[in-house]
């Protein structure tokens, strides 16, 4: 069975309130239940929550758990492509722009569900943007917040090497608006996190994630090999976070908060996550670590543990 036969989510395009002409794409499964918005990280769009492969589709798992799940493509990601979208421009989809997109999605979802609060799940860079939204424009609109594979403010030499200007490692590189990502690069990045002999990732899952991302791009077949476009605005935030410069004050987060990560994740480290946890202002907060999982835990063998932990937190009053 091909991945398209499992691509069953509903699609919605909503207008950006701050950028005329820009449509923001949302995926959804199920209508009844507590609404929850999933926000992606720096590379993959909402596709990482809506993988067309058995056992790893988080939107379907959330719907089966009685939630009403949505996943957003931040501007420039997935199907939220602006037109035109020139590469030779400053980094696109900055943190401020992402926070604005989250606000538009939350308001649209809240209106669809009677005006009540919405739960948020933010992955990787999305943990920064969702937290910023929750303490800013979203204060009072966020019921619960899950920071999955959170990034806060810890020096990460490996990432700084990727982001730095080769001529001056103290400065961020001069990135263009967006970059290309393909199957070999995705495989290499994921493989680098898997211990020797680990069977945590299925080949059909990797193929489905990339194939669906290529299809969502709309222009991926114009390159050889096919590649999908990914905005670089996230690098501005990651440069600050991986230089140990916080982008928000966790003490301002007062809604219930869960932090959850894979134990073998080199990007969202245990020390950084625990430092964030200790600084949270929320009276109700949880820290969960799941063994045998990387930064892509939700697409791996232990995905069911992640789903169960997050759904339990979101449904527990």
At 31 the pLDDT is: 81
pTM above 0.95, yes or no: yes
At 154 the pLDDT is: 98
* pLDDT 10s digits, 254-302: 999 999 999 999 999 999 999 999 999 999 999 999 999 999 999 999 9
CA distance 232 to 43: 9
CATH number for the domain spanning 178: value is 3.40.50.1820
CB 30 within 8 A of CB 63: yes
DSSP string of 218-253, one letter each residue: S-GGGSSS--EEEESTHHHHHHHHTTT--SS-GGG-
CA distance 244 to 199: 33
* pLDDT 10s digits, 173-223: 999 999 999 999 999 999 999 999 999 999 999 999 999 999 999 998 899
With a cut of 90, say whether residue 48 has pLDDT above it: yes
**Averaged pLDDT for residues 4-10:** 96
Q: Checking DSSP bridges between strand 257-262 and strand 142-148, what pairing results, if any?
A: parallel
* pLDDT 10s digits, 218-248: 998 899 999 999 999 999 999 999 999 999 9
**Which residues lie across from 26 on neighbouring strands?**
12, 72
At 316 the pLDDT is: 86
At 35 the pLDDT is: 97
Q: H helices within 155-202, ranges in order? A: 157-163, 183-191
At 200 the pLDDT is: 98
At 110 the pLDDT is: 97
* pLDDT 10s digits, 114-160: 999 999 999 999 999 999 999 999 999 999 999 999 999 999 999 99
Q: Checking DSSP bridges between strand 10-15 and strand 23-28, what pairing results, if any?
A: antiparallel
Token duo for residue 66: 């009685």
With a cut of 90, say whether residue 107 has pLDDT above it: yes
Total structural domains within the chain: 1
Long-range contacts of 280-285 (CB under 8 A, 24+ apart): 280/250, 280/251, 280/253, 281/250, 281/251, 281/252, 281/253, 281/254, 282/253, 282/254, 282/255, 282/256, 282/257, 283/254, 284/256, 284/257, 285/256, 285/257, 285/258, 285/259
**Averaged pLDDT for residues 103-118:** 96
**CA-derived radius of gyration, the chain:** 18
At 39 the pLDDT is: 99
Q: Positive or negative CA dihedral for 272, 275, 277, 282?
A: negative
Range of the domain at 163: 3-315
With a cut of 80, say whether residue 1 has pLDDT above it: no
């Amino acid at each position: 069975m091909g991945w398209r036969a499992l691509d069953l989510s509903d699609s919605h395009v909503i207008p950006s309130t701050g950028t005329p002409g820009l449509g923001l794409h949302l995926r959804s499964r199920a209508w009844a239940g507590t609404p929850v918005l999933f926000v992606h990280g720096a590379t993959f769009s909402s596709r990482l929550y809506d993988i067309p492969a058995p056992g790893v589709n988080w939107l379907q798992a959330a719907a089966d758990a009685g939630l009403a799940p949505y996943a957003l493509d931040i501007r420039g990601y997935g199907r939220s492509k602006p037109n035109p979208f020139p590469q030779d421009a400053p980094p696109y989809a900055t943190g401020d722009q992402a926070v604005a997109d989250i606000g538009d999605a939350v308001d649209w979802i809240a209106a669809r569900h009677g005006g009540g609060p919405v739960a948020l799940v933010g992955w990787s860079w999305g943990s920064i943007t969702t937290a910023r939204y929750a303490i800013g424009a979203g204060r009072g609109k966020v019921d619960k917040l899950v920071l999955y594979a959170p990034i806060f403010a810890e020096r990460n030499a490996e990432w700084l090497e990727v982001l730095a200007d080769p001529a001056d490692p103290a400065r961020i590189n001069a990135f263009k608006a967006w970059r290309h990502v393909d199957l070999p690069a995705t495989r290499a990045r994921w493989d680098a996190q898997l211990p020797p002999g680990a069977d945590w990732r299925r080949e059909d899952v990797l193929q489905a994630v990339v194939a669906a991302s290529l299809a969502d791009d709309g222009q991926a077949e114009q390159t050889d090999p096919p590649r999908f476009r990914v905005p670089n605005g996230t690098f501005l935030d990651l440069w600050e976070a991986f230089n140990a410069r916080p982008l928000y004050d966790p003490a301002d987060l007062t809604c219930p908060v869960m932090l959850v990560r894979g134990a073998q994740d080199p990007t969202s480290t245990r020390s950084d996550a625990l430092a964030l946890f200790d600084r949270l202002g929320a009276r109700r907060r949880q820290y969960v670590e799941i063994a045998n999982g990387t930064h892509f835990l939700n697409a791996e063998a232990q995905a069911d543990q992640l789903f169960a932990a997050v759904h339990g937190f979101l449904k527990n009053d």
